[in-house]
Amino acid sequence: MFDIGMQELIVVFIVILLVFGPKRAPELGRALGKALAELKKSFQDVKKQVETEFKESTSDIQEARKSFEDLRKKVEEGVKETVGINALQQPVKDIIEETDEAEEEEEEEEEEEKEEEEEEEEKEKEAKEKEEEVKKEEQAKEGKEDKEIQPGGDQKKEGLNDRT
């Protein structure tokens, strides 16, 4: 509080003794001690009073916050009931579910159609391959028959081609 050292205290006591005398100095010291004790006690009382007021105001603020939250919830519920959101929520959910189910069914049908088309395309490819094999076999048979019918026909053709 005060920056008073030991030497300053001794000087102050000597001055008090000289001014008030040795008989009144102890009385003055007691009075000063009582005054300081009362001052300290009053500061502590003020401190306690401020702390209790602070705690009370804090609790009041918390109560006000709770009542505000309750009021906000009641207002929200009232608005929802007034607008009828609660009444509309279930039918909307049902519609959404039905729509989702219908979309899933459509997707499944499209996938099945794609699979069927792919199978048909594969069958067509296989049929074309078989037809081509049959044609190649027929051509191969015809080519053998031609060679058998005209033996040495290749030689004649080669000779004709050489002349021209």
Rounded to an integer, the average pLDDT of 42-56 is 92
**Percent of all residues in the chain with a pLDDT value above 70, rounded to a whole number:** 80
Q: What digits encode the pLDDT tens for the residues 51-96?
A: 999 888 888 888 988 998 998 898 888 877 776 665 556 666 777 8
Q: What is the pLDDT of residue 41?
A: 95
What are the tens digits of pLDDT across the range 113-162?
999 999 999 999 999 999 999 988 888 887 766 655 555 555 555 555 55
b/e burial code for range 59-85 (CB count within 10 A of at least 16 → b):
eeeeeeeeeeeeeeeeeeeeeeeeeee
Strands (E), 32-104: none
Show the tokens assigned to 97. Answer: 């579910």
CA pair distance 82, 147, nearest whole angstrom: 98
Distance (Å, rounded) from C-alpha 39 to C-alpha 34?
A: 8
